[in-house]
Structure 1
């Protein structure tokens, strides 16, 4: 198939119906990498991804770091001799769908309602796969660059074997430009390039005060219980305004963009009368300053609770780390803080669950010039915003370490109402069309 490079917009428009059907087929596969009972679905997802790219002339195969490891798809489609090499990244595994009752339609039956396609993975990140696929289809035999492909199968479970894959297949993945399609745009009709992301640490904190549970009537008021102690310890993690109180964490300025409070209110779901926490501009608090959250708490349930002093209590503390900090520093500073604030001589233990490094990309140079021009053209004259993301994509640090000379572009299909990881995840179809066109134009520009 040969496309007309001067009519790429028309070519993308023509291929969208078939591309969306391919995306729906991917969404129907329950590739939840966190669920051991659905690892067969993750394999099926890799096989379908392989099939789709092989049909577009990509010399592709399924690889894994070791026997039994999650499957990734890598491949290559050669461009002209001497042309730049571009690595296209996405992931085919998805988050658990959790309670189906929270979904308006079945999570693994892709459904178009209004201007969106709903389903688990419809945006994060099977639409990223579809965007890469669409760009290759639109360019056909006129591909102006050599494209290399890496579709991961374990991103939603922290990419545990990614470093091994990058080491084992470094020659197959090496590129001048890396396009990571796993982020989002600023708004409907306003594209973005993600230039910074926070890292994270997750640490389980355990506090013990007794060697066994005792009667609260007999011992309450004398012996401290573990829940009481843990609540008091956790409270020291925040200042009075809700900002982080752990000394030594790094923060910095953010991109100067306007984020109106009414938009923040609508997108966050914050209730009437509830105040924002922290200090600094809104985007600094979300993108370039640390944030501390308790994401889990182990203690007796209210239903059936007895009049007992608990001997042990546990909490999972998550810190989002600002660009410029490191996970090692954050772990050390958190542990120092906890040890200094343990109440009543209670016994403290901490366990690091996982970590991920923050990222600040150098958003300049020919690849970024090519991307900004492509995005502006695809969005009919609207230039992309350089934005930060408060969440984490820890594997980007692995790519930067493996390929330090490459330019890394973080793009994506999500918008403020995508609801990735939550019920009713949805892909805005008109924006998806622009994403496909933008990537097609980006490959054209890079080849030029």
Structure 2
């Protein structure tokens, strides 16, 4: 059978892919019992078990992880001596962030202007459907898989509670592979085949300032009474200079990105930057986004404007996150952030810090037989050269994979692209991205097996 037959077969399966995604999106699988019933995640996990069993995998089952989520895993043995490839995705999704902000029903896959809308349509249920489409096409064309295929599908990735990260090391033999496809990223732009080669790590700390035994009337005591809100604002302002560059003592913020360029005009559109508002920092967008540390204030505990009173607050708190590029240790960045803020506490305010999470940066495979096969497969599936990009987000699981399987080639790809609006209202996926990425994965599995 020719590879043209494989291409035609993937195209013929897109109707089934839409039906699959319609079912999968209907599960409100937010891995937070305060937002969605836990049985919704259980239904999604069972759906994954059933569909991958139908697609030809064996012993597909859900195993509990330390955070209570189910990790779905299974395998299909390939010919003797063939390599093993582990396929990753996750079936949990972000909260919808309010039904009123959506132009289509949140949990109902809806076609509009050629795109498929619904929470999880891209991140990451579209990637699950892509895996299914690739595997079905291979079996339909060749009758079997060309190599050993393993699956691991996570149920709490969006919550960041680390269930699968803790599951992997003690279950290394279950998941061991020569190549690992972490399918939870996507293309730099629609129709541009892309491997994500770096991930920024992250660290976050909570800082609490306390000055008074209770809030006090600002008319009677404001002025000499130490104001922790004003003090916190001063401390947070020190994290950036007047141009918006991150300025944390001890962290280098001058690195350069050598991969694909990210035009400022495109970034402004992708990031929904309002007309007339300038971007923060200096250097190229790619430098700032993928190669340098960046500080972000994620939240502040102070009274909201509506309902506020004329009072000096007794205490206040903020959560500060720092994204760190490869080459910077996330734990050292956390220590530098704490030292930077502690050195700027004004007026002797009482200051406490608490760790709010840390994940190390990651560099994916850039050479080897799996990389060569994937590069060729993506270029043939899309009909244009491969791009390599960084990602500002963090996937701590990649570091766990790298530590547990140091000899494996690890590559990041997927159906997502900027127009998908992942993590935001009106998430969508372009079905062409599912089709092309499924073809690339099928071609990769065949060619990687042949190269060994």
Aligned to 1:116: 115
The 1-side partners of 2:178 and 2:105 are apart by 41
Question: Structure 2 regions of 5+ residues with no counterpart?
Answer: none
3-state SS of paired residue (1:187): coil
Mean CA deviation greater in 357-366 or 279-288: 357-366
Q: 1:34 to 1:250 in 2, by over 3 A?
A: farther
The 1-side partners of 2:79 and 2:252 are apart by 45
Aligned to 1:12: 10
Match of 2:353 among 350, 353, 370: 350
Would you say 1:82 and 2:85 are equivalent positions?
A: no
* Residues 46-61 of structure 1 mapped to structure 2, 5 A cutoff: 46-59=45-58, 60-61=60-61
TM-score between the two structures when normalised by the length of structure 2: 0.96
Question: Structure 1 regions of 5+ residues with no counterpart?
Answer: none
Asked if 2 retains the 8 angstrom alpha-carbon contact of 1:178 and 1:409, the reply is: yes
Aligned to 2:224: 222
1:25 Cα offset (Å): 0.5
3-state SS of paired residue (2:185): strand
1:423 Cα offset (Å): 0.2
Asked if 2 retains the 8 angstrom alpha-carbon contact of 1:88 and 1:149, the reply is: yes
* Residues 347-426 of structure 1 mapped to structure 2, 5 A cutoff: 347-380=350-383, 382-426=384-428
Aligned to 1:295: 298
- CA shift digits 1:358-405 (9 cap, x unpaired): 11224111111101100011012x011011111111210011011110
3-state SS of paired residue (1:413): coil
- CA shift digits 1:19-62 (9 cap, x unpaired): 22011100100000133442111111100000000111211111
1:65 Cα offset (Å): 2.5
The 2-side partners of 1:40 and 1:241 are apart by 48
3-state SS of paired residue (1:417): helix
The 2-side partners of 1:217 and 1:262 are apart by 48
Aligned to 1:130: 129
Asked if 1 retains the 8 angstrom alpha-carbon contact of 2:259 and 2:388, the reply is: no
Would you say 1:321 and 2:324 are equivalent positions?
A: yes
The 1-side partners of 2:327 and 2:364 are apart by 11
Asked if 2 retains the 8 angstrom alpha-carbon contact of 1:255 and 1:386, the reply is: no
Aligned to 2:28: 30
Aligned to 1:188: 190
The 2-side partners of 1:410 and 1:387 are apart by 10
The 2-side partners of 1:396 and 1:167 are apart by 12
Aligned to 1:439: 441
Match of 1:169 among 165, 168, 171: 171
How many residues of Structure 1 are paired with residues of Structure 2 in the alignment?
444
The 2-side partners of 1:118 and 1:337 are apart by 43
3-state SS of paired residue (2:418): coil
1:439 Cα offset (Å): 0.7
3-state SS of paired residue (1:319): strand
1:159 Cα offset (Å): 4.5
Match of 1:206 among 205, 208, 213: 208
Asked if 2 retains the 8 angstrom alpha-carbon contact of 1:249 and 1:329, the reply is: no
Asked if 2 retains the 8 angstrom alpha-carbon contact of 1:230 and 1:313, the reply is: yes
1:4 Cα offset (Å): 6.2
The 2-side partners of 1:123 and 1:38 are apart by 22
Asked if 2 retains the 8 angstrom alpha-carbon contact of 1:250 and 1:321, the reply is: no
The 1-side partners of 2:164 and 2:441 are apart by 24
The 1-side partners of 2:365 and 2:443 are apart by 22
Aligned to 1:64: 64
The 2-side partners of 1:61 and 1:211 are apart by 54
The 2-side partners of 1:286 and 1:38 are apart by 36
3-state SS of paired residue (1:212): coil
Aligned to 2:288: 285
Asked if 1 retains the 8 angstrom alpha-carbon contact of 2:116 and 2:428, the reply is: yes
Would you say 1:105 and 2:104 are equivalent positions?
A: yes
Mean CA deviation greater in 392-401 or 250-259: 250-259
The 2-side partners of 1:148 and 1:199 are apart by 27
The 1-side partners of 2:391 and 2:448 are apart by 25
